Structure 1
Amino acid sequence: MTEVKGWHVFSGFAGAFGIIIAVNLTLAYKAVATFPGLEVKNSYVASQSFDRDRRAQLALGWDVSAHLEGHVLSLKILQDGVAITPQILSATFGLATNVAFDETPEFSFDGQALRADVIAGEGNWNLRLKARAEDGTLFQQRIIVKVSS
């Protein structure tokens, strides 16, 4: 049996802590590199009109939902139970925590919903939507997309 010397113990501790530090640094880098970041550039400025914008958006009475079936993203915007097609200013479809897979869907209306082909799979998907109502009201919402199997 070999005798355990001080340098053996030191090597074991250094190796174990080296692995822990390497894993932590890798996870920290991945968290920072893949996080979408800020929703707005200046939160103070955005907060000044938040309540007014929210009231105007709620006054539209829109019922908005999105779901993913296969590779087809369906966006339903109902006003008084009737499907409508507002002007889509921007739409970004992607994972909730990673902007690497974000895409801009090209919607077409089929009489019931706005539909677009997207590249998606398992995961927590979001649709960040900006649309303009006929009266000029801006509608902004992050919609959690339901994945149908």
Structure 2
Amino acid sequence: MAPLTGRKVLAIFVAAFSVIIGVNLLLAYQAVHSFPGLEVENGYVASQSFNRDMKAQKALGWTVQLGYESGVLTVDVDRAPGSPADVASLGVLVGRPTEAKEDKRPSFTRRGDRFSAPVELRRGKWMVVISAQATNGTHFKQRLSLVVPG
């Protein structure tokens, strides 16, 4: 076995720190390039009406249930158990929680109390952002998680 010299120790340190720095750079790159963006343009402006908007949304008494089966995403918006909500418009964003490249905005059709849209989702965790408006003009927004088994 060869003796441990100063050059070998230096090579070990350089190799070890090269791996550490390389992994850190890779993780930083992935974090920056997969970040989907801002939630709001100006947090201060959004905060000015947050409490008022939250009270109005809670006063609607809406609950949202998601379903996904055979390539069809369903959204049920109810006011009380079994009582449909008075939804004037519905917009839905479906995407991964950590990146925006798979974001989809499916077009929903209403059949009775249920909104449904064909959308192909691969297995894994999905973020579903519901944006709706009641017939009285109150805005409703909720973010839900959906796990597609596979």
Question: How would you bin the TM-score normalised by the shorter chain?
Answer: 0.7 to 0.9
> Normalized against structure 1, the TM-score is what?
0.88
Task: Give the C-alpha shift of residue 139 in structure 1.
Answer: 1.0
Match of 2:139 in 1: 138
Matched residue SS, 1:127: strand
TM-score by length of 2: 0.87
After TM superposition, the structure 1 = structure 2 runs for residues 82-93 of structure 1, keeping only pairs within 5 Å, are 82-84=83-85, 85-88=87-90, 90-93=91-94
What amino acid maps onto 2:52 in structure 1? R
Among the aligned pairs, what percent are the same residue? 41
Answer 1 or 2: higher relative contact order, Cα 8 Å, separation at least 6.
1
Gaps spanning 5+ residues in structure 1: where? Answer: none
Matching of residues 93-112 of structure 1 within 5 Å: 93-112=94-113
Q: What is the 5 A alignment of 1:64-75?
A: 64-75=64-75
- Any stretches of 5+ residues in structure 2 without a counterpart? none
Q: For the Cα contact (< 8 Å) 1:68–1:148, is it kept in 2?
A: no
1:41-52 aligned within 5 A: 41-52=41-52
Over residues 83-136 of structure 1, what are the superposed CA-to-partner deviations in whole Å (9 max), with x where a residue is unaligned? 344312x32101111111111111112324211122322322111121111001
Say whether the 8 Å CA contact 1:36–1:97 is kept in structure 2: yes
Distance 1:86 1:25 in 2: 48
Partner of 2:17 in structure 1?
A: 17
Say if 1:107 and 1:119 are closer, same or farther in 2 by CA, change over 3 A: same
